[in-house]
């Protein structure tokens, strides 16, 4: 008798969803996360934080696919289960922004900054919303804002502690889809200087067309300072030149963990997806880029090419 196929656990489904997300297969990721959510909700071992992560991950997939309404709904559920979760706040903020609900987006970005004032995505989002709301409502725009929740100190301390523990335990690539939750452990000044020097050596090699040697320099640089998004996008450019497209996708994804609106990372990942014949992922990245820079001529041109 043929063996009955074992059904996957919710954790295996979550991992599979993360892998689909990293490949830019957002529709497939949404479907797999949905299966994981259903399974975990039926389980006796239902853990609010685990469920919140699944909702937040599915929200990221919806956001990448441009389904901002569903993204908001999933973030709402995630935040009910796990209040003040940074990823959920940032994803909902981005969805509100895309829906032109700028006041709600401002509140979410500002709330995230209370938890970690160094989150680049929240800083940039707050600046964009300030500009949009000033244009829409004039100098008194703050008076029309919904109340901004105060994040209790105990919550901030707990989240900081959790982030440090998770960074030490986890392989960050499949877990940190979408926007960046917090910084990687801050490198020392000595490491930053060393990383910068190696990056500049890599840049010089790129100018000479020595891409393989440049990859080595950038890799050494990232060992000293893994928080520099530019080093990842520079190495991705080299990977594109030597036709290592999957490595280019991985580096651009790392850069987008650090800065979710990094135009170079989105463009280079789109180029890599095009070469890998993954048209949907390519188009998704270009659409994300054009939300940040609507008149980016290189992105518009590439979008026109792949849509043909």
Tell me the whole-structure pTM to 2 decimals: 0.54
pLDDT over threshold 60, residue 172:
no
**Least reliable range by pLDDT among 47-56, 70-79, 289-298:** 289-298
Angle at 138 (CA atoms; ends 124, 131), nearest 5 degrees: 15
**Per-residue confidence band for 295, with pLDDT thresholds at 50, 70 and 90:** confident
Q: What is the mean pLDDT of the chain?
A: 85
Q: Which residues of 280-294 are buried (b: 16+ CB within 10 A; e: fewer)?
A: ebbbbbbbbbbeeee
Residue pair 104/146 in contact (Cβ under 8 Å)? The answer is: yes
Mean pLDDT of all residues in 34-51: 87
Note the pLDDT of residue 241.
93
Note the pLDDT of residue 186.
65
**Least reliable range by pLDDT among 154-168, 212-226, 264-278, 282-296:** 154-168
Rounded Cα–Cα distance for residues 75 and 56 (Å): 6
Mean pLDDT of all residues in 18-37: 92
Rounded Cα–Cα distance for residues 94 and 111 (Å): 13
Note the pLDDT of residue 176.
43
Note the pLDDT of residue 173.
41
Angle at 63 (CA atoms; ends 49, 298), nearest 5 degrees: 140
Note the pLDDT of residue 5.
52
**Per-residue confidence band for 114, with pLDDT thresholds at 50, 70 and 90:** confident
**Per-residue confidence band for 183, with pLDDT thresholds at 50, 70 and 90:** very low
Mean pLDDT of all residues in 123-141: 89
What percent of the chain shows pLDDT beyond 90?
Answer: 49
Note the pLDDT of residue 181.
41
Q: Which residues of 20-34 are buried (b: 16+ CB within 10 A; e: fewer)?
A: bbbbbbbebbbebbe
pLDDT over threshold 50, residue 232:
yes
Residue pair 16/8 in contact (Cβ under 8 Å)? The answer is: yes
What percent of the chain shows pLDDT beyond 70?
Answer: 87
**Least reliable range by pLDDT among 186-190, 223-227, 267-271:** 186-190
Q: Could you report the per-residue pLDDT of 241-276, keeping only the tens digit for each? A: 999 999 999 999 888 887 878 889 999 999 999 999
Q: What is the secondary structure of 176-210 as a DSSP string?
A: --SS--SPPPPPPHHHHHHHHHHHHHHHHHHHTT-
Note the pLDDT of residue 168.
44
Maximum Cα–Cα distance across the chain:
75
Domain architecture of the chain: domains with CATH: 10-166 (1.25.40.10), 189-307 (1.25.40.10)
């Amino acid at each position: 008798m043929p063996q009955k196929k074992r059904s996957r656990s919710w954790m295996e489904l979550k991992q599979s969803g993360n892998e689909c997300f990293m490949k830019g297969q957002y529709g497939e990721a949404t479907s797999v996360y949905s299966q994981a959510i259903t399974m975990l909700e039926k389980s006796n071992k239902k853990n609010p934080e685990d469920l919140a992560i699944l909702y937040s991950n599915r929200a990221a997939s919806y956001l990448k696919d441009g389904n901002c309404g569903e993204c908001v709904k999933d973030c709402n559920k995630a935040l009910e289960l796990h209040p003040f979760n940074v990823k959920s706040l940032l994803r909902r903020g981005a969805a509100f922004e895309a829906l032109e609900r700028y006041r709600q987006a401002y509140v979410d970005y500002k709330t995230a900054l209370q938890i970690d004032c160094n989150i680049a995505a929240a800083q940039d989002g707050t600046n964009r919303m300030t500009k949009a709301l000033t244009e829409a409502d004039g100098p008194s725009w703050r008076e029309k804002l919904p109340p901004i929740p105060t994040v209790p100190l105990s919550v901030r301390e707990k989240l900081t502690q959790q982030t440090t523990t998770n960074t030490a335990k986890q392989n960050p690539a499949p877990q940190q889809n979408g926007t960046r939750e917090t910084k990687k452990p801050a490198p020392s000044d000595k490491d930053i200087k060393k990383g910068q020097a190696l990056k500049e050596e890599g840049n010089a090699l790129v100018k000479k067309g020595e891409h393989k040697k440049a990859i080595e320099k950038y890799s050494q640089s990232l060992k000293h300072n893994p928080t520099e998004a530019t080093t990842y996008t520079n190495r991705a450019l080299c990977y594109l030149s030597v036709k290592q497209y999957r490595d280019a996708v991985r580096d651009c994804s790392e850069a987008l963990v650090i800065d979710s609106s990094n135009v170079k990372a989105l463009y280079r990942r789109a180029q890599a997806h095009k070469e890998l014949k993954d048209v949907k992922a390519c188009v998704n990245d270009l659409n994300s880029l054009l939300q940040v820079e609507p008149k980016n001529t290189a992105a518009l041109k590439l979008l026109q090419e792949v849509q043909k």
